[in-house]
Amino acid sequence: MSPAVIVLIKLAIRLVVFGVVFFLAARKNPKVVIHNKWATPLIALVFALLNTGVYWLLTPILNLATLGAMGFIMPFVVNMVFLLGTVKVFEKLNEKRKSDKKWIEIQGLMATLWMAAFLTLAHGALYLGLDYFPNM
């Protein structure tokens, strides 16, 4: 298989996994609200693109900057930034559409940390399953 096909397959798997995480988070935590259930795949796609593309670019820089010492904390912080970025993307989309109805809403710091923790666990599982073990 060509490298482009492999990247697309990995992105599709990430889309499904992050979609499930967003769906379950919205059902289990009342402070994580996705107002339109059909928006979940779009939200997961934006997060998956950030998580896959930007994280891939940032990993060597972050490892060098922290000398690898923060290898367990850094994915949590980066995923929290990606989560906030994803929410911001959809806020900007709402502004352009001139709509009052939000796509995703995370109410409070604890809900943001909770969501970032679950996204980081999913990120870790995806890293092990798609990137680490296949290279062994």
Residues in the chain: 136
pLDDT value at 134 more than 80: no
Contact (CB, 8 A) for 131 and 9: no
pLDDT confidence of residue 71: 65
pLDDT confidence of residue 81: 92
Q: What is the pTM of this model?
A: 0.85
Contact (CB, 8 A) for 31 and 106: yes
- Write down the mean pLDDT value for the chain: 86
Expressed as residue numbers, the domain containing 123 is 3-135
Q: How many domains does the chain have?
A: 1
- Name the band, by pLDDT with cuts 50, 70 and 90, for residue 18: very high
pLDDT confidence of residue 56: 76
- Name the band, by pLDDT with cuts 50, 70 and 90, for residue 33: very high
